[in-house]
Structures are given as structure tokens and as C-alpha cells.
Amino acid sequence: MTVSELGLAGRIRVGVIGTGAIGQDLVSKLHRSPVLECALVIGRNAASEGLAYAARLGYPVSDGGIDAVLAADRPFDVLFDATSAAAHAEHWRLLADVPTLLVDLTPSKIGQMVVPTVTGVGGVTGRDVSLISCGGQASIPVAHALAERFAVDYIEVVSTVASTIAGRATRLNLDEYVATTQHAVTTFTDVAETKAILNISPAVPPATFRTAVHAVIPGADVAGVRAVVDEVAARVRAFAPGYRVTACSVAGERVVVSVEVTATSDVLPPYAGNLDIINSAAILVAEQHAARLSPAAGTGARA
């Protein structure tokens, strides 16, 4: 096969649908990936800032929405879906017969749920991966670690996102955010009673993304909790370097762990750690998929 038939230098073909802040940051992260080729960025508005950004970086763009994906001359290996929960359900239906791995950044709850430090990124078996929600990506590592180490009676995750980066789809998808995040917390902690809450902060300057994990843990000790949490935070920092524990409090059986995440991104402001952590997880999933499609992809030679 020729180099062009192989794709650029053996990279796998990745499409991005959705041109809001998540979509733009994904494009910037693809731009830095040695194994992922940004083959098309798809929006629905030719004048959108997201399409203009992708075009400036030299990537093909389309304002044709999902039709542009279906019309592509050959399937994408991976399609990042940064639209909305309802749109993702429709995309999943339309792409049922296309051999593309869908990596879902909406809270649609359709695909196989991945939290890198909990599930790993190598065990993807279906064709739809759910990144759950930004609050899920930030809170579940801590919630899961606490549930592994202690007998937890109840767990609750409360995230706060800056208003300036909560786009329209996020605002219309609060119900799905709550349901999907809670479902994931229950699944990964095996705690029967859980709750998820999202606050949107209007503070100026914007507030750094944060998540509080509340838990009822009879007999918890602060040193034990702190050790568990510090260990898991270090593992999350391997792919989301702005992840840090800001407070850890134990009062009787009530435990509160607060985490802040700052963004490391070419396009996001530092406070937008919510988008950075979910997108970094999505990139890990895609890079792992690249390695599976082509074990030599990382060296630039596709089998």
C-alpha cells in the first residue's frame, strides 16, 4: 500500500463531531498526537469558531453534521462525539453498520463506560465508549478508591463548572449529566445509594473546575483516607496533570474529599479542567485503539 492509502504516516483516521469548547480542545490534542490523524472536523455552522480553528491548523472541515460523516469516502477509525446526549443516540443509530469506534463525550449513557485509572483503556469490546461526564472522570477515581479500601455506606459527587465554558448542550443535558454520572458512580463503587449534583458557577474570574466526593464511611480515619486519595490522584495526574486534592476532611463517619482540576491545553483556559480531563481520557482511548488496529502505529508504520 502507498503511504497515502495507509493514512498519514500510519496514523489512524479520527473525526471530531461538535465544535464547541470540547471539540476544539480535542482537535488541539489530536494535533499533538503522534498516532491520531485528525481527518475531519464536523460542525453544523460554517461560521463557527471551532471550524475556523481546525481550518487554521490545516485540517479538513465540514458544516454538514452527521451527513458528512456518513458521506466520508472511507470510514473513520475513531469518531469523537462532542455534540449532545440526544444527538449521540442518533449518531450511534446511524453509524450502526460502520466500523468506527465512537468515543462519546456526551452523557448519553449508551456506550461502555471508561475511567482510565479504574477500567483501563485497553478493554474496549464494543464500538461505543462512554466517557460518562466530566464530573464522573474527576470523581470516580476517588470514589472507586475509597470503596475499594473502606466499607462505604453512601457516596455523593458534587461538581462545579465555570459558566463561561458550559455551552448550550451542557445546559440542556443536566438531567442526563446527573443520571449518567450517578449510574457510573454506583457501577464503579458498588455502593447502592449514590447521588450526583452539578453546579454552574458564575464567578468572575471563573472558578477552577472542582469535584467534592462526600462519603459515609463508618470508622474512617483521616490519614487512611488521605493516603488512598493521594495515591489515586498521582495516577490520574499521569494523563491529567492538573488534577490535585485540595481538601480532605473526616468528621465522624462523614468524609469529604475535594479535587480541583486545571487544564493543560492549547485552547482551554486553565480553569476548564473539566474539559481537559474528559478529553485527555478520550485521547487515551483513541490511542489505545490505534495500538490495537496497528501495533506499530506508534512508530509510524501501519501494518
Partner 1 sequence: MTPVVVHDPTLRDGQHAVRHQLGVAALRGYAEAADAAGVPVVEVGHGNGLGASSMQVGRAAVSDDLMLSTVREALRRSKMGVFMLPGWGTSSDLRKAIAHGADVIRIGVHCTETSLAERHLGWLAEQGAEGHCVLMMSHMASAAELASHAAAAVGYGARAVGLMDSAGFFLPQDVTSRIGAIVAAVDVPVIFHGHNNLGMAVANSVAAAQAGARIIDGCARGFGAGAGNTQLEVLVPVLERTGFSTGIDLYGLLDAADFAERELMPAPPTTGTLSIVSGLAGVFSGFKHQVLDASTRAGVDPRDVFFELGRRQAIAGQEDLIVDVVAELGRTAV
Tell me the window of 56-64, 126-134, 192-200, 234-242 that interacts with partner 1 (CB under 8 A): 192-200
**Cα–Cα distance for residue pair 202/165, rounded to 1 Å:** 10
Position 177 contacts partner 1 (CB under 8 A): yes
Q: Letter for the amino acid at 205?
A: P
Query: What is the smallest separation between the CB atom of 84 and partner 1, expressed in angstroms?
Result: 11
Longest Cα separation, the chain: 66
Question: What CA–CA distance (Å, rounded) separates 239 from 247?
Answer: 21
Q: Is 215 annotated as a binding residue?
A: no
Region label for 269, one of left (φ > 0), alpha (ψ between -120 and 50) or beta (otherwise): beta
Using CB under 8 A, which residues numbered 109 to 148 contact partner 1? none
**Grid cell digits, residue 131:** 466517557
Site for partner 1 contains 154 (CB under 8 A): yes
State the nearest-atom distance from the C-beta of 110 to partner 1, in Å: 18
Q: Which is nearer to partner 1, 177 or 188 (CB)?
A: 177
Q: Is 151 in the site for partner 1 (CB under 8 A)?
A: no
- To partner 1, the closest distance from the beta carbon of 9 in angstroms equals 43
Q: Is 22 annotated as a binding residue?
A: yes
199 labelled as ligand-binding? Answer: no
Least gap, CB of 215 to partner 1 (angstroms): 8
Q: Which of 61, 114, 134, 220 is catalytic?
A: 134
Between residues 163 and 187, which has the closer beta carbon with respect to partner 1? 163
**Are 211 and 135 within 8 A, CB to CB?**
yes
Question: Residue 210 CB, nearest distance to partner 1 (Å)?
Answer: 7
Provide the CB-side half-sphere exposure for 38 (13 A, CA).
Answer: 27
Among 179, 227, 291, 293, binds partner 1 (CB under 8 A): 179
Out of 9, 216, 227, 291, name the contact with partner 1 by CB under 8 A: 216
Cis previous bond, 270, omega within 30: no
Among 47, 96, 192, 204, binds partner 1 (CB under 8 A): 204
Q: Indicate the Cα dihedral angle 112, 172, 273, 162, nearest 10°.
A: -160
Among left, alpha and beta (phi > 0; psi -120 to 50; other), residue 108 is alpha
Alpha carbon distance 74, 13 (integer Å): 10
The question of whether 248 is a catalytic residue gets the answer no
158 counts as binding partner 1 under rule CB under 8 A: yes
* Annotated binding-site residue? 45: no
- Residue 175 engages partner 1 in binding (rule: CB under 8 A): yes
Cα angle 146, 142, 195; round to 5: 85
| Contact indicator for 138, 261 with CB cutoff of 8 Å | yes
In whole angstroms, what is the distance from residue 168 CA to residue 301 CA? 41
Q: Which residues bind partner 1 (CB under 8 A)?
A: 154, 156, 158, 160, 163, 168, 171-172, 174-175, 177-179, 195, 197-204, 207, 210, 212, 214, 216, 246-247, 249, 251, 254, 256, 258
* Residues annotated as catalytic (active site), given as ranges: 134
